Amino acid sequence: MANTLTIAVLQHESSPGDLNANLQRLTTTAADAASQNVQLLVTPETSLCGYNLSLEANRKVAQPAQGDLTDAVSTLCQQHNMAIAYGFVEQDGDSYYNTVQLIDKTGKILQRYRKSHLWGAMDNALFTAGDAILPPVTIDGWQVGMLICYDVEFPENARTHALAGAELIIVPTALAGDWYTVAERVVPVRAYENQLFIAYANFCGEENDCHYAGRSCISGPDSEDLARAKTDATLLVATLNKNSIDSIRKEIPYHQDRLPSLYKAITS
């Protein structure tokens, strides 16, 4: 079982509504990441179509879970021997979801997660909420869970992943500038209190009338950043080590000392 995992987090400006431009960016980024021996590449929320869209534009860029877009990303994964997590608007019948899909290095879909906690009027107008926090999946011997943006601001979600054995949670996001404290404070705390790694991938720059916060990060189980972006486009790369998880869990036994019988009220 691999003790380390090299991951990359892409922070980029959105090209709203332009699937081809966003796919070309991912193609270039995957090649760059592969040159740095990256095993898992994480992109922002709805990275392949844009986030701050009108209802009409959102519907135009919506894709099936398995279609040409999936095939293109699957090819990249196989070409570069790398797993990729990418965000898109998923159409399933008459429903539209804010979805992140994780494809492994063989080109196989490992998991498709639909954002469960929708943010504000826009999210609720555009999307149907997902109805499940899915169990972690295995990437090169690591247990990896997925959340999207606002999901990580609810401690129960990250704790659910931790209790299911997650060692890394990936969080594609579209965090606006006014809420930068989530990236700078909440994400490292989530990593610390659950004693695992979190990879948080945000947009930067402007998209329509939205200014993004940037500040993507890879935070460790001790709450320290292995990598942290500012507000420009960049590719963060870091190698995670399971020894960090083992060490902090021995030093501070949060998991062992939990008293679930006292917490029943928070699930109601």
Distance CA 130, CA 12 (A): 25
pLDDT digits (tens, 9 = 90+) for 115-150: 999 999 999 999 999 999 999 999 999 999 999 999
Q: How many other β-carbons are positioned within 10 Å of the β-carbon of residue 63?
A: 18
Catalytic residues: 45, 115, 149
Confidence of residue 266 (pLDDT cuts 50, 70, 90): confident
Question: Are the C-beta atoms of residues 157 and 190 closer than 8 Å to each other?
Answer: no
CATH number for the domain that contains residue 181: 3.60.110.10
- The pair of structure tokens assigned to 199 is 């990879």
Radius of gyration of the chain (CA): 17
pLDDT digits (tens, 9 = 90+) for 78-121: 999 999 999 999 999 999 999 999 999 999 999 999 999 999 99
Q: Is the pTM of this model over 0.95?
A: yes
51: DSSP letter = S
Look-up: residue for tokens 């500040």?
215
Distance CA 152, CA 150 (A): 5
Question: Are the C-beta atoms of residues 166 and 144 closer than 8 Å to each other?
Answer: yes
Helix (H, G, I), strand (E, B) or coil at 72: helix
Question: Are the C-beta atoms of residues 32 and 61 closer than 8 Å to each other?
Answer: no
Confidence of residue 217 (pLDDT cuts 50, 70, 90): very high
Q: In the chain, which ranges are continuous DSSP H helix?
A: 19-35, 55-61, 68-80, 120-126, 155-163, 180-181, 187-194, 242-251, 254-257
Distance CA 180, CA 46 (A): 19
Question: In this structure, is the dihedral angle defined by the CA atoms of residues 84, 87, 90 and 96, taken in order, positive or negative?
Answer: positive
Question: Are the C-beta atoms of residues 99 and 115 closer than 8 Å to each other?
Answer: yes
Number of structural domains found in the chain: 1
Write out the residue range of the structural domain in which residue 246 sits: 4-267
- Kindly state the percentage of the chain with pLDDT values over 70: 99
Which of 198, 200, 199, 192 has its CA nearest to residue 255? 192
Helix (H, G, I), strand (E, B) or coil at 228: strand
